[in-house]
Amino acid sequence: MKHISYVVGAVILAVMGAGATAPVAHAEGPEMNGVYSYVDEDGDFGTWTVNTTCAPTCVAHVATGPGRGFDAVLVDGVYTVNRSVPAGLSCPDYMLGDLLWDAGEHPVQVWQWWDPTTLKGEVHFLATTGPCEIGDHHDHFTLTPAG
């Protein structure tokens, strides 16, 4: 009977020890690393430089120009971000009396997502502080690997 107790004890310790040394799982997903051309349905275009990290969740670090960029988190298979685009709305010039006023460019709050497999996405223009209205509240866009 003593021999069986030792065997059972050894099995319990082995199982507990195996659970204690199990590797930590990290999120895995489609990584996007490289330079992409951005084009939306209205013909607006740009360049995105993307570096993805996945520890513990996947985040696409996107540079859109010198000193400009954003981070998008992978949620349910798509990268998503709610962000401000600094010059996202160009208001038309207007006349005030005999003077022509430049209404300028204004920031826009957007919600944006894209599928890293198809490289297609959408942007929803939510709000702005500009003196003019957002005419088109929704665009589709495509990312194409550059090079």
More confident residue, 89 or 50: 50
pTM confidence score: 0.71
Banded model confidence at residue 137, pLDDT cuts 50, 70, 90: confident
Contact 113, 71 (CB under 8 A): no
> What pLDDT is recorded for position 29?
61
Give residues with Cβ within 8 angstroms of 127, minimum separation 6: 108, 109, 134
H or E stretch covering 20: helix 2-20
| Residue 3 backbone phi and psi in degrees, to 5 | -65, -40
Contact 45, 142 (CB under 8 A): no
Whether the predicted pLDDT of 59 surpasses 90: yes
Residue for token digits 């996405």?
A: 121
